[in-house]
Amino acid sequence: MTAKYFQVPGLLGEYYQQTGFSHAVVLPPGAQLVIASGQPGFNSEARMPDSAAEQIESTFNNCDLALKVAGVTEGLGKAHRIRCFLTDVSMEPLLMEIWRRRWPEHRPTWMTVGTNALCGKGMVVEIQAESYL
């Protein structure tokens, strides 16, 4: 059994669908939650990339891997909830462009928060993801 995603009717639902996320989700009965902690944009060499696009890609890679090592074989492709923190909310269109390119058909619930700083030096993005087994 899989999660069921919902959009509200009308223009707002259309906007969410086009942007890349859903209004609500219902998990299957008996689903076991898997929660990935906030993931930074460190690349595979444990270096923080200079560009926002590279950090976003790396952050998605890190979230995807965290879910996979916890048993969610589909990784972010099965995430039902994403929380994103950006030091500059004007980067959200870039974030969503990268999301839609990587997972074009998946629409988890999503919340993005603007913040003046993140805990790692040079971090511009941090993402937490939640999925289920």
- Over the stretch 110-123, which tens digit does the pLDDT of each residue have? 999 999 999 988 99
For the domain 4-24+32-132, what is the CATH superfamily, name and number? RutC-like (3.30.1330.40)
H-helix or E-strand containing 55?
helix 52-69
- Over the stretch 21-42, which tens digit does the pLDDT of each residue have? 899 999 999 999 999 999 999 8
* Per-residue pLDDT at 44: 84
Domain boundaries, the chain: 4-24+32-132
pTM (2 d.p.): 0.90
* Per-residue pLDDT at 72: 97
Distance between CA atoms of residues 20 and 119, nearest Å: 27
Q: What Å distances lie between residue 50 and 1, 41, 53, 56, 73, CA to CA?
A: 41, 10, 9, 11, 30
- Over the stretch 44-90, which tens digit does the pLDDT of each residue have? 888 999 899 999 999 999 999 999 999 999 999 999 999 999 999 99
